[in-house]
Structure 1
Amino acid sequence: MTDPVDSTLSTVVIGAGQAGFEVCAKLRELGMTGPITLIGSEQHAPYQRPPLSKAYLLGKMELARLFLRPLPFYDDMDITLKLGCDCVAIDREAKTVVLGDGTRVGYDRLVLATGASPIQLPDAIGGGLGRVHCMRSLADADALATRFVPGQHALIIGGGYIGLEAAAVGAALGMKVTLVEASTRILKRVAATETARYFRDLHKSHGVDIREGVTVMRLTGDTSVTGAELSDGSVLDVDVVVVGIGVRPNIDLAKAAGLEIENGIKVDAACITSDPAILAVGDCASFPHAGGRIRLESVGNAIDQARAAAEAITGAQTQYTVKPWFWSDQYDVKLQIVGLSQGYDRVVARACDDGRASYWYYAADQLIAVDAMNDPRAYMVAKRLIDNGKSVDPNLVSDPNVDVRSLLQRVRMDGFHAALLH
């Protein structure tokens, strides 16, 4: 799809999350006038997911503020919403999708934004008991909110960001919180030892009992969970369990349709699948990166990839280049992450007297990622450097007497001005 296409062609998007919404909005912005249908399995219009385990669960964000746009937006943009609908099949030959009620919707271009689903705890060890929750959807957050009660004991399974955010909310609400992580430390897959230590200390200072290298052997209870047996030999009385042990991409629909799968729905640099009429974006899509393939579970990737897919649908010569960024809110700490830390061989710490801190990841002499805690200036400097493929002397980074903003002035970047930071 490299030549301009008929703007009246129809587009169907399966998945009404951030990525699916962005595809539809961008298509209208780019002048596509044909029918656009957005199909979602939930009853809600597209909404933000990140606040679910943070401000929304804490009761600091109202439901209305979650939605990406109010309902009139979709009428104004002539986007047909089909909510509470499951798509059960794709007929590639007829170019139609089949909904659960048997309805068929035709398309000229189809976009799969099917997202990912949380990995459940096996029923054999109590995963099916009541009061055992995952955190992915609005329904999950609403169900969990009724269980997060001061004085109750919450067991969090998994020391990734979802687990840590849930632990922070529970502790902030006055709950007793125990977090177990099967790996030797929290955040092992996604962050350096230094960042893990920072957040371990933060949670312990708020009373969270973190147990690393410990697994859940069994959850106990008749119909609802009342206890947990751990691999360290301890037995806990618990009132609610949150399972945060990762997600799997939703690929069944694509796989059944015969599309190529490789750690997600396989797409090229223009977000196009093995069928040129079908694209995939967001958590479900694996795309080319640094000579290999990756799949990213982030809002930033969902937005940027969706917009690239919309451009590809219009016939633009799109090459999606990922510029990863992430964030997490825990207590009064905002963590901002830029870049991908895989392959790092050195971490440089930068600390400030006022509690700000950042950890800079290097592969050889190249800066590849930064974790910044309550330090938006460090984050913005690092983002500009990494987005432009530039690096900076690690000795300057670690020197507390060097203003972080001056790091930009020490790197020659064509068309780039440090003054933009101010």
Structure 2
Amino acid sequence: METVVIVGAGQAGIQAAASAREHGYDGRLVVLGGEPHAPYQRPPLSKEHLRDGVEDQRLALRPPRFYTDAAVDVRTGVPVTAIDRTVGEVVLADGERVPYDRLLLATGASPRELGIPASPSGVMTLRHLGDASRLRSLAADAVHVVVVGAGFLGLEVASTMRALGKQVTVLEAGDRVLGRGVSSTVANALERAHARDGVRIRLNDSVRAWQTRGDGRVGGLVTTDGRSLHADLVVVAVGVRPNVSLAECAGLPTSDGIIVGPDLLTSDPCVAAAGDCARVIDVAAHVTMRLESVQNAADQGRVIGAWLAGAPARRYAAVPWFWSEQAGRRLTIAGLVGAADEIVTRGDPDAGPFTAFHLRDGNLVAAESIDAPADHMAARRLLSSSSARADGIDRELLADPNVNLRAYATRRAEETVR
């Protein structure tokens, strides 16, 4: 009997297992997860779970009976320590060796550290369920919370802490919030929303040293500009590093991710990678990308699931999209921000819902929407239409809030079919 092994029990790994069964795979299917918990969703960790606490069954990626009904052997708390590609086996921490015919690496990513030695108790990162539960416990007694890093996770945590009534300061080493993820138009709108919510954001500043209380807990910090800040709790959210050590030690190419082709296969035709750990290299399209989002992990899991079931590998071509909720606003992004040479804005960023459409050479490449779900859905449809990408797009139409973008997107899609 053939065996498929998936290393990683997160969104990409579990979706790939489900998709393999949906595509008719009837062999042995083993999912190995390093964490002790059943597979769970990560987005609530910085929001609902941190604010209210969420029962395990509501966090679950799949109900328990799914794994029984689909005959998926999920092993939790079982770290994989090595891959032996010469014989087609993975080696577990307890010495057991699990053979594979096809292997998927969905190893995810780990939080970056600040690099300041001797972090006291009360300084932590947020990535896993255990982190979130501990953070929620520590927050109960905290008054002053400092978040280091104004990326998506940092700002979501800051927003949740404000909802819990904490005094929140965000330190960001860059010159604006969300420096890598969004346009300056969207970043400025969200920064204003956080300011209205009572979050203090300090740009071009970070942590130089910790200050501790008599019991060893963090009591404050000294910033890089020499100021002292009181802090009962510090959350470090300065990005992640893809978990590539397994692949690297097995001789697979890595570079800020496990290198895969457009079909998500590594240089070894029996090994694939998906999710936060995978860097997709598409030489023909001159694109290299590693995306950190639930939707990307799920989409890649669906694509590679067919390969796990024995079908020929196929190109991953889904339109990436992402969402974040913070300071009472909902941001949705479709496409790849940063590839544009022109931005067309629909609505007023200072007065309610709006969308920033990103164009390159007159063609739509991405759209960022705040509190504008209809715009987001229309943008996703436009981006999935080869006509919208190849034939240019009407700038005045995009900018006019009175135009029905859904109808326009439908017409463009019909033009593509014809």
Question: Shorter-normalised TM-score: what interval?
Answer: over 0.9
Aligned counterpart for 2:155 among listed residues 158, 164, 176: 164
Aligned counterpart for 2:287 among listed residues 278, 281, 292: 292
Matching residue's letter, 2:335 = G
Q: Provide the rounded CA distance (Å) in 1 between the counterparts of 2:211 and 2:7.
A: 38
Query: What corresponds to 2:245 in structure 1?
Result: 252
Q: Provide the rounded CA distance (Å) in 1 between the counterparts of 2:259 and 2:416.
A: 35
Aligned counterpart for 1:122 among listed residues 115, 120, 127: 115
Query: What corresponds to 1:4 in structure 2?
Result: none
3-state DSSP of counterpart to 2:138: coil
Query: What corresponds to 2:301 in structure 1?
Result: 306
Matching residue's letter, 2:291 = L
- Deviation (angstroms), 1:32: 0.8
Query: What corresponds to 2:79 in structure 1?
Result: 86
3-state DSSP of counterpart to 1:342: coil
Q: Provide the rounded CA distance (Å) in 2 between the counterparts of 1:149 and 1:331.
A: 20
Q: Provide the rounded CA distance (Å) in 2 between the counterparts of 1:308 and 1:315.
A: 10
Give the conservation status (yes or no) of the 8 Å contact 1:192–1:347: no
- Deviation (angstroms), 1:155: 0.4
Give the conservation status (yes or no) of the 8 Å contact 1:250–1:264: yes
Give the conservation status (yes or no) of the 8 Å contact 1:13–1:38: yes
Give the conservation status (yes or no) of the 8 Å contact 2:20–2:307: no
Query: What corresponds to 2:262 in structure 1?
Result: 269
Matching residue's letter, 1:304 = D
Q: Provide the rounded CA distance (Å) in 1 between the counterparts of 2:417 and 2:394.
A: 18
- Deviation (angstroms), 1:231: 2.3
Change (3 A) 1:412 1:254: closer
Q: Identical aligned pairs, as a percentage?
A: 40
Q: Provide the rounded CA distance (Å) in 2 between the counterparts of 1:236 and 1:354.
A: 33
Instruction: Tell me the TM-score normalised to structure 2 length.
Output: 0.93
- Deviation (angstroms), 1:416: 6.2
Matching residue's letter, 2:187 = A
Query: What corresponds to 2:333 in structure 1?
Result: 337
Which range is displaced more, 70-79 or 202-211? 70-79
3-state DSSP of counterpart to 2:147: strand
Deviation by residue 1:351-390 (Cα, 9 ceiling, x = unmatched): 2698212111122311111111111100011111112141
Give the conservation status (yes or no) of the 8 Å contact 1:112–1:279: yes
Q: Provide the rounded CA distance (Å) in 2 between the counterparts of 1:48 and 1:178.
A: 27
Query: What corresponds to 1:398 in structure 2?
Result: 399
Aligned counterpart for 2:378 among listed residues 376, 381, 388: 381
Instruction: Tell me the TM-score normalised to structure 1 length.
Output: 0.92
Change (3 A) 1:94 1:181: same
Q: Provide the rounded CA distance (Å) in 2 between the counterparts of 1:233 and 1:197.
A: 26
- Deviation (angstroms), 1:294: 1.2
- Deviation (angstroms), 1:180: 0.9
Change (3 A) 1:357 1:99: same
Change (3 A) 1:232 1:9: same
Q: Provide the rounded CA distance (Å) in 2 between the counterparts of 1:251 and 1:317.
A: 22
- Deviation (angstroms), 1:410: 6.4
Matching residue's letter, 1:79 = V
Aligned counterpart for 2:56 among listed residues 45, 48, 63: 63
Q: Is 1:217–2:208 an aligned residue pair? A: yes
3-state DSSP of counterpart to 2:359: strand
- Deviation (angstroms), 1:349: 1.7
Give the conservation status (yes or no) of the 8 Å contact 1:149–1:174: no
- Deviation (angstroms), 1:306: 1.4
- Deviation (angstroms), 1:266: 1.1
Q: Provide the rounded CA distance (Å) in 2 between the counterparts of 1:345 and 1:150.
A: 48
Q: Provide the rounded CA distance (Å) in 2 between the counterparts of 1:283 and 1:192.
A: 22
Q: Provide the rounded CA distance (Å) in 2 between the counterparts of 1:216 and 1:412.
A: 50
Matching residue's letter, 2:181 = V
Q: Provide the rounded CA distance (Å) in 2 between the counterparts of 1:317 and 1:258.
A: 22
Matching residue's letter, 1:237 = H
- Deviation (angstroms), 1:69: 1.2
Query: What corresponds to 2:224 in structure 1?
Result: 231
- Deviation (angstroms), 1:234: 1.7
Matching residue's letter, 2:403 = V
Deviation by residue 1:207-238 (Cα, 9 ceiling, x = unmatched): 10001111211122153211111123321110
3-state DSSP of counterpart to 1:147: helix
- Deviation (angstroms), 1:52: 0.9
Give the conservation status (yes or no) of the 8 Å contact 1:58–1:169: yes
Q: Provide the rounded CA distance (Å) in 2 between the counterparts of 1:292 and 1:26.
A: 26
- Deviation (angstroms), 1:304: 1.2
Change (3 A) 1:388 1:412: closer
Query: What corresponds to 1:49 in structure 2?
Result: 42
Give the conservation status (yes or no) of the 8 Å contact 1:111–1:281: yes
Q: Is 1:35–2:28 an aligned residue pair? A: yes
Query: What corresponds to 2:127 in structure 1?
Result: 136
**Residues paired across the two proteins, number:** 408
Which range is displaced more, 18-27 or 388-397? 388-397
Deviation by residue 1:1-43 (Cα, 9 ceiling, x = unmatched): xxxxxxx421011011011101111111111111111000111
Matching residue's letter, 2:312 = A
3-state DSSP of counterpart to 1:362: strand
Q: Provide the rounded CA distance (Å) in 1 between the counterparts of 2:263 and 2:233.
A: 43
Q: Is 1:180–2:176 an aligned residue pair? A: no
